[in-house]
Protein backbone atom coordinates (compact mmCIF):
# COMPACT_ATOMS: atom_id res chain seq x y z
CA UNK A 1 0.00 0.00 0.00
CA UNK A 2 2.78 2.38 0.90
CA UNK A 3 4.49 1.54 -2.40
CA UNK A 4 1.35 2.27 -4.35
CA UNK A 5 1.07 5.63 -2.64
CA UNK A 6 4.70 6.36 -3.45
CA UNK A 7 4.15 5.34 -7.08
CA UNK A 8 1.01 7.48 -7.25
CA UNK A 9 2.84 10.46 -5.76
CA UNK A 10 5.74 9.91 -8.16
CA UNK A 11 3.30 9.66 -11.09
CA UNK A 12 1.47 12.82 -9.97
CA UNK A 13 4.78 14.62 -9.60
CA UNK A 14 5.96 13.44 -13.00
CA UNK A 15 2.69 14.48 -14.64
CA UNK A 16 2.85 17.84 -12.81
CA UNK A 17 6.42 18.40 -13.95
CA UNK A 18 5.52 17.44 -17.52
CA UNK A 19 2.46 19.69 -17.41
CA UNK A 20 4.57 22.50 -15.97
CA UNK A 21 7.23 21.92 -18.62
CA UNK A 22 4.59 21.89 -21.38
CA UNK A 23 3.05 25.04 -19.99
CA UNK A 24 6.48 26.66 -19.70
CA UNK A 25 7.28 25.67 -23.28
CA UNK A 26 3.95 27.12 -24.44
CA UNK A 27 4.58 30.34 -22.49
CA UNK A 28 8.09 30.52 -23.98
CA UNK A 29 6.74 29.96 -27.50
CA UNK A 30 4.04 32.61 -27.01
CA UNK A 31 6.59 34.99 -25.52
CA UNK A 32 8.96 34.42 -28.46
CA UNK A 33 6.07 34.90 -30.92
CA UNK A 34 5.01 38.11 -29.14
CA UNK A 35 8.62 39.35 -29.04
CA UNK A 36 9.06 38.57 -32.76
CA UNK A 37 5.83 40.42 -33.53
CA UNK A 38 6.97 43.42 -31.46
CA UNK A 39 10.41 43.44 -33.16
CA UNK A 40 8.82 43.12 -36.63
CA UNK A 41 6.36 45.95 -35.91
CA UNK A 42 9.16 48.06 -34.44
CA UNK A 43 11.32 47.49 -37.55
CA UNK A 44 8.36 48.33 -39.81
CA UNK A 45 7.61 51.47 -37.81
CA UNK A 46 11.28 52.45 -37.83
CA UNK A 47 11.39 51.94 -41.64
CA UNK A 48 8.30 54.14 -42.06
CA UNK A 49 9.86 56.84 -39.86
CA UNK A 50 13.09 56.69 -41.90
CA UNK A 51 11.17 56.88 -45.18
CA UNK A 52 9.10 59.83 -43.94
CA UNK A 53 12.26 61.53 -42.68
CA UNK A 54 13.93 61.00 -46.09
CA UNK A 55 10.86 62.38 -47.89
CA UNK A 56 10.77 65.39 -45.56
CA UNK A 57 14.52 65.93 -45.94
CA UNK A 58 14.16 65.82 -49.76
CA UNK A 59 11.27 68.29 -49.62
CA UNK A 60 13.28 70.63 -47.41
CA UNK A 61 16.35 70.25 -49.64
CA UNK A 62 14.27 70.94 -52.77
CA UNK A 63 12.69 73.96 -51.07
CA UNK A 64 16.14 75.21 -50.02
CA UNK A 65 17.50 74.77 -53.55
CA UNK A 66 14.48 76.56 -55.03
CA UNK A 67 14.87 79.39 -52.50
CA UNK A 68 18.57 79.70 -53.31
CA UNK A 69 17.84 79.81 -57.06
CA UNK A 70 15.16 82.46 -56.52
CA UNK A 71 17.48 84.47 -54.27
CA UNK A 72 20.19 84.21 -56.92
CA UNK A 73 17.79 85.43 -59.63
CA UNK A 74 16.56 88.26 -57.38
CA UNK A 75 20.13 89.30 -56.61
CA UNK A 76 21.05 89.30 -60.30
CA UNK A 77 17.96 91.37 -61.18
CA UNK A 78 18.73 93.80 -58.34
CA UNK A 79 22.39 94.02 -59.41
CA UNK A 80 21.37 94.58 -63.03
CA UNK A 81 18.94 97.35 -62.03
CA UNK A 82 21.62 99.01 -59.88
CA UNK A 83 24.19 98.83 -62.70
CA UNK A 84 21.68 100.28 -65.19
CA UNK A 85 20.84 103.09 -62.74
CA UNK A 86 24.56 103.75 -62.23
CA UNK A 87 25.11 103.75 -66.00
CA UNK A 88 22.23 106.22 -66.45
CA UNK A 89 23.71 108.50 -63.78
CA UNK A 90 27.15 108.38 -65.47
CA UNK A 91 25.64 109.11 -68.89
CA UNK A 92 23.66 112.08 -67.55
CA UNK A 93 26.67 113.47 -65.68
CA UNK A 94 28.89 113.17 -68.78
CA UNK A 95 26.20 114.74 -70.95
CA UNK A 96 25.94 117.70 -68.57
CA UNK A 97 29.72 118.13 -68.74
CA UNK A 98 29.85 117.72 -72.53
CA UNK A 99 26.85 119.90 -73.44
CA UNK A 100 28.26 123.24 -72.36
CA UNK A 101 26.69 126.46 -73.61
CA UNK A 102 29.50 126.72 -76.18
CA UNK A 103 28.86 123.20 -77.49
CA UNK A 104 25.11 123.81 -77.55
CA UNK A 105 25.54 126.99 -79.57
CA UNK A 106 27.67 125.13 -82.15
CA UNK A 107 25.18 122.24 -82.44
CA UNK A 108 22.10 124.49 -82.61
CA UNK A 109 23.78 126.78 -85.19
CA UNK A 110 24.67 123.79 -87.39
CA UNK A 111 21.13 122.40 -87.18
CA UNK A 112 19.50 125.71 -88.04
CA UNK A 113 21.92 126.61 -90.83
CA UNK A 114 21.45 123.24 -92.54
CA UNK A 115 17.70 122.92 -91.99
CA UNK A 116 15.75 123.02 -95.29
CA UNK A 117 13.32 125.73 -94.18
CA UNK A 118 11.64 128.58 -95.97
CA UNK A 119 12.30 132.09 -94.71
CA UNK A 120 9.91 133.28 -92.09
CA UNK A 121 9.49 129.94 -90.29
CA UNK A 122 9.76 130.32 -86.54
CA UNK A 123 12.34 128.15 -84.83
CA UNK A 124 11.85 127.52 -81.11
CA UNK A 125 14.77 126.25 -79.04
CA UNK A 126 13.96 125.14 -75.47
CA UNK A 127 16.80 124.88 -72.94
CA UNK A 128 17.44 125.01 -69.23
CA UNK A 129 17.36 128.59 -67.92
CA UNK A 130 21.14 128.93 -67.38
CA UNK A 131 21.94 127.84 -70.95
CA UNK A 132 19.16 130.06 -72.37
CA UNK A 133 20.54 133.08 -70.53
CA UNK A 134 24.08 132.42 -71.83
CA UNK A 135 22.97 131.87 -75.44
CA UNK A 136 20.77 134.96 -75.47
CA UNK A 137 23.69 137.26 -74.72
CA UNK A 138 25.50 137.07 -78.08
CA UNK A 139 24.79 133.79 -79.84
CA UNK A 140 21.11 134.42 -80.62
CA UNK A 141 21.65 137.83 -82.26
CA UNK A 142 24.55 136.51 -84.35
CA UNK A 143 22.60 133.40 -85.46
CA UNK A 144 19.51 135.42 -86.39
CA UNK A 145 21.71 137.80 -88.39
CA UNK A 146 23.43 134.93 -90.21
CA UNK A 147 20.32 132.85 -90.98
CA UNK A 148 17.70 135.61 -91.29
CA UNK A 149 15.29 133.30 -89.47
CA UNK A 150 12.97 133.89 -86.56
CA UNK A 151 14.55 132.11 -83.60
CA UNK A 152 13.05 132.05 -80.11
CA UNK A 153 14.86 130.69 -77.04
CA UNK A 154 12.69 129.37 -74.20
CA UNK A 155 13.64 128.09 -70.77
CA UNK A 156 12.21 124.77 -69.58
CA UNK A 157 11.88 123.78 -65.93
CA UNK A 158 13.32 120.38 -65.10
CA UNK A 159 15.66 120.13 -68.09
CA UNK A 160 19.18 119.47 -66.81
CA UNK A 161 21.07 119.59 -70.13
CA UNK A 162 20.65 119.57 -73.90
CA UNK A 163 17.84 121.23 -75.83
CA UNK A 164 14.58 120.66 -77.71
CA UNK A 165 14.15 122.29 -81.11
CA UNK A 166 11.08 122.93 -83.25
CA UNK A 167 11.30 124.19 -86.83
CA UNK A 168 7.54 124.79 -87.19
CA UNK A 169 6.66 127.05 -84.26
CA UNK A 170 6.17 124.15 -81.83
CA UNK A 171 3.96 121.84 -83.93
CA UNK A 172 6.67 119.17 -83.94
CA UNK A 173 9.94 118.83 -82.05
CA UNK A 174 13.33 117.18 -82.15
CA UNK A 175 14.31 116.19 -78.63
CA UNK A 176 18.01 116.51 -77.83
CA UNK A 177 17.45 117.00 -74.10
CA UNK A 178 19.78 115.32 -71.63
CA UNK A 179 17.04 112.84 -70.72
CA UNK A 180 16.32 111.90 -74.35
CA UNK A 181 20.02 111.56 -75.20
CA UNK A 182 20.64 109.60 -72.00
CA UNK A 183 17.77 107.21 -72.86
CA UNK A 184 19.11 106.77 -76.39
CA UNK A 185 22.68 106.07 -75.25
CA UNK A 186 21.46 103.77 -72.48
CA UNK A 187 19.27 101.80 -74.91
CA UNK A 188 22.28 101.38 -77.21
CA UNK A 189 24.41 100.08 -74.34
CA UNK A 190 21.83 97.80 -72.69
CA UNK A 191 22.08 94.86 -75.15
CA UNK A 192 25.81 94.62 -74.41
CA UNK A 193 25.16 95.03 -70.70
CA UNK A 194 22.53 92.26 -70.86
CA UNK A 195 25.08 89.94 -72.52
CA UNK A 196 27.58 90.63 -69.75
CA UNK A 197 25.00 90.14 -66.97
CA UNK A 198 23.25 87.14 -68.56
CA UNK A 199 23.27 84.23 -66.09
CA UNK A 200 25.19 81.12 -67.11
- Taking only the tens place, the pLDDT of each residue in 160-186 is 899 999 888 778 889 999 889 998 988
pLDDT of residue 118: 59
Q: Residue 146: CB partners within 8 Å, gap ≥ 6?
A: 109, 113
Residue pair 178/131 in contact by the 8 Å Cβ criterion: no
> CA–CA separation, 15 vs 5, rounded Å?
15
**DSSP element (H, E) containing 162:** strand 162-166
79 CB contacts (<8 Å, ≥6 apart)?
197
Beta strands in 84-159 (DSSP E): 122-127, 150-155
Bridge partners, residue 175, by sequence: 164
Cα(187)–Cα(67) distance, integer angstroms:
32
**Which regions of the chain are under pLDDT 70?**
1-2, 7-8, 10, 15-17, 20, 117-121, 199-200
68-86 confidence digits (pLDDT tens): 888 888 888 888 888 888 8
Q: What is the pTM of this model?
A: 0.59
pLDDT the model gives residue 83:
84
**Candidates 3.30.2320.30, 3.30.420.40, 3.90.1150.10, 3.40.50.410; CATH matching 100-197:** 3.30.2320.30
pLDDT value at position 20? 67
Q: Where are the domains of the chain?
A: 1-98, 100-197
In the beta sheet, which residues pair with residue 155? Answer: 127
Amino acid sequence: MAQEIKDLIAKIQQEGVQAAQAQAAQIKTEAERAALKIVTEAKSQAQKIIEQANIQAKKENDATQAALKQASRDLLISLKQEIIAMLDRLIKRNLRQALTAQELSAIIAALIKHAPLTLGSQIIVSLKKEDKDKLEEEFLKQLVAETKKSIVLKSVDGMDSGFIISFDAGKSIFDFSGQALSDYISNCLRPELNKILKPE
